[in-house]
Amino acid sequence: MQWLTSRFSVHSLFFKMLIYFLIVIILLSSYNIWSMTFYTRNVHNEIVKYNLTLIRNTVDSFEKQYTTWKSLLLSLQHNEFVGNINRQADKGGKQAIDYLQVDLVMDQIRTIVTQPFYHLQNVMIYYRSHSFLLESDGMVDDDRMFRHYYVSEQYPYEFWIKDADRSDAFLQALPSSGFTIEPKSSEVELLPLVSHVPGSRWEIIALVNMNSWYESYKGMSGSRFLLLDQDGTPLFQSAPSSMDAPLPAWNGTSEWIKDKGNYYFFEKGDRSGLTYVSIIPHNELNRSISRMNWIAVLLFATTLLIGTLASWFFTRNINRPLKRMITGLGKTEQHLYEGTISEFNAIASHLQGLHHERKQIKAWMDHIKPLLTSYHYMARFKNINIDAAAAAELPVSEGAFMIVVFQLRYRHTPSELLDEMLTKATGKIKDIISLQVQEAFPLSHTLQMDSREILSIVYTQERSERLLACLNGLKRIFDQDQGTYLVTIAVSSVFQHTSHFDQAYTEAMSLLLQAMPVEETQIIWEKAPREDVSGFTAEQEHEFYVNLQAGNEVSCQQLIDRAFDSLHRRGATADQLHHFALAVLSRIRKTMALLNIESSPLPSDHRPLAHCVTPEHYKQALLNELARAAEAIRRKREENYDIIQFIAQFMENHISEEISLELLADKLNMSPTYLSGYIKEKTGSNFSDHLHAIRIRKAKELLVTTNMPVQEVGEQIGYRNVTSFIRMFKKLTGQPPGDYRKTHWIRN
């Protein structure tokens, strides 16, 4: 305390807040000491109650499990197929058994065994008189089962074949034992459950995986668990080697007994009659209590230490900013306080605001000046009229100049997210260009026109070697990233006055159209005459369209190959090549749309061409799209032919019968509504028109080739009413059936 009063005044904020915090800590510590004392006195009883709860939960779970086992085995014992198998074996041995019934029984056994919450390793139906068993994997002889698959010293083969003593209960639990299970040679602790039904010639053996069951319901750490039958014989022990001393006598009512340094917790099962015992060493219980006490003491000491340190630091964090702000009130230079207390931050920010206001205004003006300059340049390029008074204050140089346009092409699939990212990337590239150009021409100005276009104004009287060296240096930089983007550089001629900005910009943009389809940075200085080339002639375009509609992929490939060869020989530019590829791609997709063929959705028509640069790139992209479209067209045509052909053939073969749309829809596994629309879409006529047309065509043949009466002809082609037949015949041919027959006979 003397150290505190020597460093801090007793009336200071720091000293008073620290004292208040310490008083609160002392009050809370007093309550914690009382709570820990009370807890220590009652923890023994709580641990005993906890263990009683654990063993009761274990008893409840095992009793429910025992009842479930009993129900499952009883159901299996009285299964009719189980009895049928025994009767079949009595008559003719194993050869007379119906293995279909064996499969049904095996399915039931597998259903039981595969349920993890039953904890059953296996369930067997033992036909002792016939020396075989049915289990989850099939039918096994008893000597093979107990001498090879399930081997136990306590339960050898001889144990199972002899007539064991039977208890009165339906289900008898035998002491658990270690079994070696083949073919994996795994060691498992199993508890046999054997069904006893008077007069039954078979019995059910269920093997319970006690390790699995005990892992689900084990009690307190360090405890041991015993399961005893009605005679007190241990059926299961969690730690058999440590069970040396006999259990103390239990009167059947006491919940727990302390004997020879151990706590014994007893519970008897109401349904099974089994006794459950949990044994906890006295030193283990004391160790738990002692460990809890030490944990409580450690937590109390830690809490006290953390509380004291927190009080010190919190008090200091409140006192320090106030002291700094008060000390800095009389100084010209302020340092902004940034802490975790918002009120102090607000006070410090307000005090420093006036001091920084002038600096912020100056920094803002310095920052906005290049933007205003770029805006003025863009207004000149785009012929945008701006306020004359404002324009007079913007810094735009005068004199002879050249325009250099840098057009970027990112080799990616377009998307809104990537476009936003690439706009920022273009800004970085613009900084590189500005640095290189300004180093060679200090009066130059570089600005970003959009996400893929950068422009530099170079004030110079001629196309000098210095400009050539500058652009070649940029070319070397760009070529290192040609896998990500490509740059085409167009240089205008020299203009003498800034009023010609728009003319210089137009000239440079026209030069960009001369770029060739190569994977490198191109610098274009002069406008060269270029032939207006196209990939397909009118005849080739028509031929391509016809072959595409027919799904003839090979012919379409040959036309594309010839077109690209022609474009290459005639020196097509990148722009001409792209427009040709885009036109072919558009033709492919329009053809698929006309044929009602759905294609995979794409974000834009340019997607397959996004990565294309060279003629080979474009040709491969188009061939890929062509292959996909041709395959879809062929499938569509085959599908249409199969269904329509079936309908026509069915009508021809069953023309004299009652044919309905519902009948055909049922045979094609379609709904009548869908089938009606499908026929209309694919053929242009509805179902009834097709049916009448086929019947009238057949009627014409019968009228010409036979002397059959008109009424009989109508019945032969499916018309039960002669009036309906005559009316339809006249509607489709223009004359009644009798007149049609006379006209044909007269002509012949």
Give 675-734 as a DSSP string: HHHHHHHHHSS-HHHHHHHHHHHHHHHHHHH----HHHHHHHTT-S-HHHHHHHHHHHHS
What does the alpha-carbon distance between residue 50 and residue 218 come to, in Å, rounded to a whole number?
A: 13
Q: Is the pLDDT of residue 436 over 60?
A: yes
Q: Is the pLDDT of residue 207 over 90?
A: yes
Residue-level pLDDT at 595: 63
The mean per-residue pLDDT over the stretch 427-444 comes to: 88
Pick the CATH number of 396-524 from 3.90.79.10, 3.40.50.11060, 3.60.20.10, 3.30.70.270: 3.30.70.270
Residue-level pLDDT at 386: 46
CB 634: neighbour CB atoms within 10 A?
14
What does the alpha-carbon distance between residue 721 and residue 715 come to, in Å, rounded to a whole number?
A: 8
The per-residue DSSP string of 521-560 comes to: -EEE-S--------S--HHHHHHHHHHHHTT-HHHHHHHH
**Architecture in CATH for domain 655-744:** Orthogonal Bundle (1.10)
Find out whether the peptide bond into 442 is cis, omega within 30 degrees of 0.
no
Q: Is the pLDDT of residue 372 over 50?
A: no
SS3 track for 430-444: HHHHHHHHHHHCCCC
Band (7; pLDDT cuts 50, 70, 90):
low
Lowest-confidence segment of 382-396, 401-415, 430-444, 544-558 by average pLDDT: 382-396
Q: Which two tokens stand for residue 6?
A: 């020597």
Amino acid identity for residue 9 in this structure? S
CB 417: neighbour CB atoms within 10 A?
7
Residue found by looking up tokens 């307190």 in the block: 220
Q: Is the pLDDT of residue 605 over 50?
A: no
Residue-level pLDDT at 418: 59
Average pLDDT in the chain: 79
| % of the chain exceeding 70 in pLDDT | 76
What does the alpha-carbon distance between residue 455 and residue 153 come to, in Å, rounded to a whole number?
A: 93
What does the alpha-carbon distance between residue 601 and residue 624 come to, in Å, rounded to a whole number?
A: 16
The per-residue DSSP string of 176-197 comes to: PEEEEETTTTEEEEEEEEEE--
For the chain, the C-alpha Rg in angstroms (whole number) is 49
Q: Is the pLDDT of residue 601 over 50?
A: no
Parse the chain into domains and list their residue ranges.
Answer: 396-524, 538-638, 655-744
Q: Which two tokens stand for residue 533?
A: 């080339």
Lowest-confidence segment of 33-42, 481-490, 654-663, 707-716 by average pLDDT: 33-42
pLDDT tens, position by position, 31-62: 677 776 766 666 667 777 777 888 888 888 88
The sheet that has 234-237: what strands, in order across it?
A: 234-237, 224-228, 275-281, 262-268, 256-259
Residue-level pLDDT at 672: 86
With residue 398 as reference, give the H or E element that holds it.
none
Lowest-confidence segment of 195-209, 290-304, 363-377, 449-463 by average pLDDT: 363-377
pLDDT tens, position by position, 272-296: 888 888 888 766 666 666 666 677 7
What does the alpha-carbon distance between residue 589 and residue 248 come to, in Å, rounded to a whole number?
A: 91
What does the alpha-carbon distance between residue 340 and residue 318 come to, in Å, rounded to a whole number?
A: 10
First to last CA, the chain: 139
Residue-level pLDDT at 172: 86
Residue-level pLDDT at 287: 64
Residue-level pLDDT at 729: 92
Residue-level pLDDT at 685: 83
Q: How far is CA 55 from CA 48, 78, 273, 282, 362, in A?
A: 11, 34, 15, 17, 80
- Total length of the chain: 748
Band (669; pLDDT cuts 50, 70, 90):
confident
The mean per-residue pLDDT over the stretch 315-340 comes to: 64
- 657 secondary structure, DSSP code: S
What does the alpha-carbon distance between residue 273 and residue 720 come to, in Å, rounded to a whole number?
A: 84
What does the alpha-carbon distance between residue 747 and residue 93 come to, in Å, rounded to a whole number?
A: 87
What does the alpha-carbon distance between residue 461 and residue 401 come to, in Å, rounded to a whole number?
A: 7
Residue found by looking up tokens 């007069």 in the block: 199
Q: Are 639 and 648 in contact (CB under 8 A)?
A: no
What does the alpha-carbon distance between residue 112 and residue 106 come to, in Å, rounded to a whole number?
A: 10
The mean per-residue pLDDT over the stretch 134-156 comes to: 90
